[in-house]
């Protein structure tokens, strides 16, 4: 009759647990690799759709009224300030300020064109 010591059983249990953990980690790594490969194959498609969405948004902003653009800029700026006060990550705050910068550039361009049209119209 063979008697197993408690130390031998603990060692065997630890070895079995380590093997199971290694298999689990390997499976997770394989899933992660497959996900990365799948995402990498979609990068050009995602970039094209993002570019189209940004172009569409800029086109809408350029054709919008000054009042609508000012309201949009105010909303985006308010959201950014709220996130800043609320302690949101800086990346999110910067992302919320992107529309403010785009709208500001469009409004500034409009004002510059109006001023140049007035100045060239007044001199002629």
Q: How many CB atoms lie within 10 A of CB 76?
A: 19
Alpha-carbon distance 98 to 17, whole Å?
50
Which pLDDT score, from 0 to 100, does residue 93 have? Answer: 94
Q: What is the pLDDT of residue 124?
A: 46
Query: Which positions of the chain have pLDDT values less than 50?
Result: 1, 124
pLDDT digits (tens, 9 = 90+) for 61-72: 888 888 999 999
Residue 8: per-residue pLDDT: 57
Q: What is the pLDDT of residue 122?
A: 54
């Amino acid at each position: 009759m063979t008697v197993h010591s408690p130390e031998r059983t603990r060692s065997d249990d630890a070895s079995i647990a380590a093997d199971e953990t290694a298999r689990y980690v390997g499976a997770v790594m394989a899933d992660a690799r497959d996900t990365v490969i799948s995402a990498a194959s979609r990068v050009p498609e995602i970039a094209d759709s993002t570019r189209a969405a940004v172009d569409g948004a800029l086109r809408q902003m350029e054709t919008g009224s000054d009042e609508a653009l000012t309201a949009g800029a105010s909303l985006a700026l308010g959201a950014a300030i709220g996130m800043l006060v609320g302690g949101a990550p800086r990346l999110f705050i910067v992302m919320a300020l992107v529309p403010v910068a785009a709208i500001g550039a469009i409004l500034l361009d409009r004002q510059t064109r109006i001023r140049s049209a007035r100045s060239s119209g007044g001199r002629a």
